[in-house]
Amino acid sequence: MRALNRAFVLLLSAIVLAACGTNPVTGERELQFISTAQEIKIGEQNYLPARQVQGGDYVVDRDITQYVQQVMQRVADASVRVNADQDRQLPYEIEVINSSVPNAWAMPGGKMAINRGLLTELNSEAELAAVLGHEIVHAAARHGAKAQERGMLLQGGLLAAQIGSAGSRYGNLIAGGAMVGAQLVSTKYGRDAELQSDYYGMKYMVEAGYNPQAAVDLQETFVRLSEGRKTNWLEGLFASHPPSAERVARNRETAAQLGGNDLEYGRDRYKRAISALTRDADAYAAHDEALKAAQKKDFKTAYKEVDKAIRLQPREPKFFGLKGDLALNEKKFKTAVAQYDQAIKLYPDYFAFHLHQGYAKQELGDKAGARRAFEKSNSIVPTPNAQKALGDLALAAGNRDAALKYFASAAQTNTAVGKEALVSMTRLELPQNPDKYISTRLALNNSGQVVIQVHNRAPVAVRDVQIITAYFDNLGNQVSRTQTMRVRGSLDAGERTTLTTRITDANGLRAQVSKARLAE
């Protein structure tokens, strides 16, 4: 036993040593189980879904996104110069998300986003550079990847981010949308990671030509807002990047060390660049008020506010989408379809517009149109909602295999709709494949008789469960069948029972569920 323990320790030590690497920002040695190529792949796979479930891209004025991308590239180029000896160049990319919640995030591999709601809170290009420099460090220093690696060490594998929406059907569509974000963009960074990102982010912004005092000003603002407990800040940037007096003090020290007081702030340039957002502030405020009113079931106010938003900015697809959601919840399905048509014309690549329009068309009896809408939504971002809906349509059309495929995909998510899909899949499969859902285990009781422990793992009740026992040789060939047994009554979802046999020799014995029916 001691030899085995010693061998295990040596093996573990070898694995750890093999996984050691150098942090590309700090130059320190650390464990690295995820390669740069894997980080980039993680970001590529999750970037679009993460943006979509948080509101989609801001599309009214792409000049603003291009401006943010230019500032990001300027800081990213500076980061490469600062870390020239580390030889790690990530394919940095950034998009502006159409959300009023002030937030910014970075994925492993360099994929980043900043919300419209944060851009309107900043006062200068240098403050924007401070935010982007901070996020670049999170990606470059592998902070997100290290969180993934901690999960690997604790659980033996990566936790896949599931995309889904709460609730069933469309009853809760206007309650904030499908906001189950990927874990990759909701990670709460620890104190050391935040201080590290502040420090190196300020080095990058100075190298890029920006005054580091802007980073101090920014953190001071964040601390004031957090003390005032401003709701939208608490659910945004502060949730993953908690501000503190310590961070302000450290930033002051860093600014003093770096110098650069004569470097630029770019206040006027920033104001000109985001002028469209400033001009549309009242429109987005009206949209947000409409959403709040709808959540309180005050639909009269909701319609009034969303109509105001549309008058102020008729090129914003989000406004038409919300008006479609309002009509859908009031069962005004034709109106909903028309509003989603307007939203889709302005932003054809947003999954939620197609998904919700599919529900409206389904209610109108337009099965072909509904199927096309669900397929389009699912092609943009696969969601259990679209997959369950497509499964239902396939089943109604008599296409059992397609229905099973869709239900199986939806059932992989731990959402209300995913659980509904699992029930639908079980109803289709259980009669022909009962042993997939009902498991058996053999044991001996105190009298030396074989007992069969039966477990209904299906999400629905079953009845008429029939079990066959038989002996098999070492090659897996059946030698003889011994007994057929039946479970009396029904078994609820998750219920277990035990059957006692007349058999005393368990060597080579197996038990298999041969028949079962749904209890309903």
Name the most confidently modeled range: 30-39, 224-233, 434-443.
434-443
Domain-by-domain residue ranges, the chain? 36-276, 282-370, 383-429, 434-518
Cβ neighbours, 10 Å, residue 8: 10
Q: What is the pLDDT of residues 337-370, one digit of tens each?
A: 999 999 999 999 999 999 999 999 999 999 999 9
Pairing of strands 111-115, 93-97: parallel
Token digits of residue 48: 């679009």
> pLDDT confidence of 198, banded at 50, 70, 90?
confident
Burial of 17 (C-beta count, 10 Å sphere; 0-12/13-18/19+): exposed
- Amino acid 449: pLDDT: 92
Q: Which position has the token pair 């079953």? A: 462
Decide if pLDDT at 49 tops 50: yes
Question: What's the CA gap between 264 and 79, in Å, rounded?
Answer: 18
Per CATH, which fold does 434-518 belong to? Immunoglobulin-like (2.60.40)
Q: What is the pLDDT of residues 455-469, one digit of tens each?
A: 999 999 999 999 999
Q: What is the pLDDT of residues 363-401, one digit of tens each?
A: 999 999 999 999 999 999 999 999 999 999 999 999 999
C-alpha closest to that of 456 among 442, 436, 476, 480? 436
- Amino acid 44: pLDDT: 86
Question: Mind giving me the DSSP string for 88-157?
Answer: -----EEEEE--SS--EEE-TTSEEEEEHHHHTT--SHHHHHHHHHHHHHHHHTTHHHHHHHHHHHHHSS
Q: What is the pLDDT of residues 470-516, one digit of tens each?
A: 999 888 888 887 889 999 999 999 999 999 998 988 899 999 999 99
User: If phi over 0 gives left and psi between -120 and 50 gives alpha, with beta otherwise, what is residue 257?
Assistant: alpha
Decide if pLDDT at 225 tops 60: yes
Q: What is the pLDDT of residues 111-159, one digit of tens each?
A: 999 999 999 999 999 999 999 998 898 888 755 444 444 443 333 322 2
* CATH class entry, domain 282-370: mainly alpha
pTM of the model: 0.83
- Amino acid 165: pLDDT: 32
Low-confidence winner among 25-34, 83-92, 121-130, 421-430 (lowest mean pLDDT): 25-34
Say if residues 194 and 346 touch (Cβ distance below 8 Å): no
- Amino acid 43: pLDDT: 81
| Beta bridge pairs of residue 451 | 443, 500
Kindly report the CA angle at 116 between 110 and 117, in degrees rounded to 5? Answer: 115
